[in-house]
Amino acid sequence: MQSATIIDLAPLAPIWAALPDLPRHEQVLIERAFERASLAHQGQQRKSGQPYITHCLAVAQILADMGLDATTVAAALLHDVVEDTGVTRRDIEQEFGAKIAELVDGVTKLKQLPTGVNSMHGSKAGDREMEYLRKMFLAMGSDFRVILIKLADRLHNMRTLSHMSPDKQIRKAKETLEIFAPIANRLGIWRIKWELEDLAFRHLDPERYREIASQVDEKRSDRESYLKRVTAHIQEQFAREGIKGEIQARPKHIYSIYRKMDRKNLPFNQIYDVRAIRIVVETVPQCYQALGVIHNIFYAIPGEFDDYISSPKENSYRSLHTAVLDKEGKTLEVQIRTLEMHAESEYGIAAHWRYKEGRSASSNDTAFERRLERIRRMMEDVQDGGAQDANGFVQGVLDQISPERIFAFTPKGDIIDLPEGATPIDFAYH
């Protein structure tokens, strides 16, 4: 009789570090999923030559780093077994239950959707995104975590894209920039959106990417020294005003710098967010109080203030944005938000499934569950034969994700984001 294969669980250590408060029974669930995936993918390799299980681990790690629950992490470890091995959905359901089987099956269906940039001839990027988003919502069944796993899967594939052929690198990078990064943005998952954009840009325009990255890097020590001085000065003023706030240097995203340079036709040295900080305070009133301090210390640049707290973005993003000049004429971009807003900004819709010790549901969670239930019913109606075009269907889903926003579609298929209460005149003059 052949002895059972013993799987080394040491590779799970980074997941435990990311989720230190998981109860033991949820750790066991993740361990079992890792063991099953390791056995199923045994002998398989990535294009890089690494064992295939390293991809499954990386996808699970991305989600664990976002603080997602054990069910999502376990499903991420298993996300390729049905498509790439002899394991069936029924096998997964018998071993791990209906929910994990549903998540794995949803990701498998998403992998079967055509995402090629040439799959919709004559259509523009926005139309391709809307059509894929519609199919994605339908394929995922009733659980948005399918999309989160798919985005994490795409992110790791982009991190390792250099092992693909040049043609495939370009195709995958275009798909990512035209479809997956916008979807991450719509769902408010900026942590994934930014990296997808930078990775895609690096492959699509490597020369421009290197040029901007070099300009950002060559000023790094000067910038860090400057931000340290500025932060100390702001904290001193906050202490006088009784404001408790954390000030962070914001990471620089190459693609966003490129877009701003291109959109505003500006040289690198005139891009405000090259020197940027984020201020996280306790309450909404303190956001505006902190803004007053910033505008008192520095000179506010006209036309560079945005209040996304009173008027959130289409994906529910909330923060105050301002750009200022110091006494030396140096520009500084400032974001101000609460801790809750920061979590929403980083994780978007994923924040609903983030692990919380005790698992007590808040009133916001209850409201979110009601919106998800309405989305599920919409999907069932469409799957049962209801006739809706891509724009109309996605409009309905987005209405439930961000009920305080209005998404209007132009005759050309563009999406216009308007605040609740907007009129046809607002749309006409947008």
Residue 120 and residue 77 in one domain = yes
Q: Among 426, 428, 410, 394, which residue's Cα sits nearest to residue 124? A: 410
Q: Per the domain annotation, does 259 fall within a domain? A: yes
The whole-chain average pLDDT of the chain stands at 82
Q: Per the domain annotation, does 395 fall within a domain? A: yes
- What are the helix (H) ranges across 176-283? 181-186, 190-204, 206-218, 220-241, 254-264
Residue 125 and residue 252 in one domain = no
User: Which pLDDT belongs to residue 380?
Assistant: 57
Q: Per the domain annotation, does 6 fall within a domain? A: no
Residue 197 and residue 244 in one domain = no
Cα end-to-end distance, the chain, whole Å: 73
Residue 154 and residue 299 in one domain = no
Q: Per the domain annotation, does 350 fall within a domain? A: no
266 is written with which tokens? 């500006």
Give me the CATH number covering residue 96.
1.10.3210.10
**Domain C-terminal end among 170, 204, 238:** 204
372 phi/psi in degrees, rounded to 5:
-60, -40
Q: Per the domain annotation, does 4 fall within a domain? A: no
Residue 114 and residue 185 in one domain = yes
Q: Among 144, 152, 146, which residue's Cα sits nearest to residue 66? A: 152
User: Which pLDDT belongs to residue 140?
Assistant: 66
Beta bridge partners, 150, equal none
Q: Per the domain annotation, does 108 fall within a domain? A: yes
User: Which pLDDT belongs to residue 96?
Assistant: 97
Give me the CATH number covering residue 273.
3.30.460.10
Integer angstrom CA distances of residue 48 from 59, 76, 79, 159, 165: 16, 20, 19, 12, 12
C-alpha 32, offset from chain centre: 27
* Catalytic residue annotation: 83-84
For every one of its 430 residues, what pLDDT tens digit does the chain have, with 9 covering 90 and above? 344 678 899 999 999 999 999 999 999 999 999 999 999 999 999 989 999 999 999 999 999 999 999 999 999 999 999 988 989 999 999 999 999 999 999 998 887 666 554 444 445 666 666 667 667 766 666 688 998 999 999 999 999 999 999 999 999 999 999 888 988 887 778 889 999 999 999 999 999 999 999 988 877 788 888 889 999 999 999 999 999 999 988 777 899 889 988 888 888 877 765 788 999 999 999 999 999 999 999 999 999 999 999 998 876 789 999 999 988 888 899 999 999 899 888 887 777 777 654 443 444 566 556 656 666 565 556 555 444 555 666 666 656 555 444 434 344 434 344 454 555 454 454 4
Residue 156 and residue 302 in one domain = no
What's this model's pTM, rounded to 2 decimal places?
0.77
User: Which pLDDT belongs to residue 313?
Assistant: 84
**Total domain count for the chain?**
3
Domain interval for residue 370: 364-428
Residue 70 and residue 182 in one domain = yes
Q: What is the distance between the alpha carbons of residues 201 and 256, in angstroms, rounded to a whole number?
A: 10
Residue 240 and residue 369 in one domain = no
Residue 143 and residue 53 in one domain = yes
Residue 224 and residue 191 in one domain = no
299 phi/psi in degrees, rounded to 5:
-95, 120
**Domain C-terminal end among 317, 345, 373:** 345
Tokens 């009789």 sit on residue: 1
Q: Per the domain annotation, does 368 fall within a domain? A: yes
Residue 239 and residue 298 in one domain = yes
Residue 196 and residue 243 in one domain = no
